Structure formats: C-alpha cells, structure tokens
C-alpha cells in the first residue's frame, strides 16, 4: 500500500472519529437528564439488578453491569448461565433502541410477571418495552433501521449503542459519588482471575 493511500485513509479515519464524537456531543445536549437521574432510586432500592440488551447495546450494558458490581450491587446479565431467576424487589434494566426486540420484550414480560420492576433506555416511549417499564430514559438517537442519516451518519444504531455506554458510565459516576467508597475499596471487587 502506498503512503499516499495511507495518508488518505488516516485522514478519513480521523474525520470519522471527529464526526462520531460530534454526534455524541450533540446527542448529549438533547438528553433529559432528569429522566436519567430518575433511574437512580430504582437502582439503589433494588435487591438485585438484571441487565438485558441485544447485540452491541447488550455489550454496552454488560460494561455497565461490571461497574455496578464494582459499586457493590448484586448484578446478573440475562442469558448468562449463572443468572438467577428474577423475583419481587429485583430490577431489570433493559436497553433497546426500538423497544421491540423480541427477546428483550419477553424478558421484560417475565420480570413484570415476577413482580420485579423494569426500567428501560430507548429511543422511544411508544413501544411494547416502554409499556412494560416503570420508567424510560430516552436517548434521542437513530434506531437501527433509520437509514436516512438525518439523526446520525453512522450505520445501524451505532450512535444509540455508543450513547448507552457513555450514559451508563455517567450514571455510574454519579452512583459512585453518592456511595463515596474510595477507588481502592472498589478495586477489591475487580476481577482477579484474569
């Protein structure tokens, strides 16, 4: 590969990273952070927390599950072999841009039937998942099948998935501030079999 091609590719990658960061910054300006803050009592009052999401949203929520565990919460990821049954006083945190992903809606239905609460991160209040939820925090990002590029130039819901990761990290920073446990103590919960 010639160095001219490498320069063009490097310039394109840099421009794409700037575009991605700008889209996330623009999205952050549209979030109702009162909706997000209202997630905190659900998390604090839950006996146990269950996390569910599909695809890249699910990966972002797994990262949140790890940080919640570091803060001392009992956390399970739906679909893992060691995940317990959900019950009353538990919380299901669901993430779905469309709110229609069948496996996530089914998990929410089962949580509600077990008298657990459901809170959701989504792009819409008008979905089967939102209707099952005690609370919904909206991320005004493009859904997977929004190919028009009016909300995001990125492919297939990437902006939503990125913003789920960033938003849950911000939420966890606030939970950590409220908890006040020193980082050295949290570190004791960090995986040590790696």
Report the pLDDT value the prediction gives residue 194, as an integer from 0 to 100.
79
- Please write the tens of the pLDDT for every residue from 27-65: 999 999 999 999 999 999 999 999 999 999 999 999 999
Average pLDDT over residues 159-185: 95
Q: Helix (H, G, I), strand (E, B), or coil: what is residue 6?
A: helix
Catalytic residue among 22, 23, 47, 161: 161
Determine if the pTM surpasses 0.95: no
Average pLDDT over residues 112-120: 98
Please indicate whether residue 184 is annotated as part of the active site: no
pLDDT for residue 82 is more than 60: yes
| Contact of 87 with 61, CB cutoff 8 Å | no
Match 């929410």 to its residue by tokens: 108
Q: Helix (H, G, I), strand (E, B), or coil: what is residue 158?
A: helix
User: Which domains occur in the chain, in start order?
Assistant: 3-187 (3.40.50.10490)
pLDDT for residue 148 is more than 70: no
| Contact of 68 with 169, CB cutoff 8 Å | no
Measured between alpha carbons, how far apart are the two ends of the chain, in Å? 38
């Amino acid at each position: 590969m010639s160095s001219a091609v490498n320069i063009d590719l490097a310039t394109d990658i840099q421009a794409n990273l700037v575009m991605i960061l700008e889209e996330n910054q623009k999205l952050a300006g549209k979030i109702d952070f009162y909706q997000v803050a209202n997630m905190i009592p659900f998390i604090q009052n839950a006996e146990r927390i269950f996390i569910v999401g599909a695809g890249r949203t699910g990966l972002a929520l797994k990262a949140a599950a790890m940080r919640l565990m570091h803060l001392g919460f009992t956390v399970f990821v739906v679909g893992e072999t060691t995940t317990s049954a959900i019950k009353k006083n538990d919380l299901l945190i669901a993430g779905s841009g469309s709110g229609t992903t069948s496996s996530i809606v089914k998990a929410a239905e089962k949580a509600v039937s077990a008298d657990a609460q459901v809170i959701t991160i989504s792009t819409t209040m008008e979905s089967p998942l939102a209707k099952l939820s005690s609370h919904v925090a909206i991320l005004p990002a493009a859904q997977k099948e929004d190919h028009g590029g009016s909300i995001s130039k990125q492919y297939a819901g990437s902006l939503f998935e990125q913003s789920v990761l960033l938003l849950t990290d911000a939420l966890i920073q606030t939970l950590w501030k409220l908890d006040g446990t020193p980082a050295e103590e949290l570190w004791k919960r960090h995986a040590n079999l790696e």
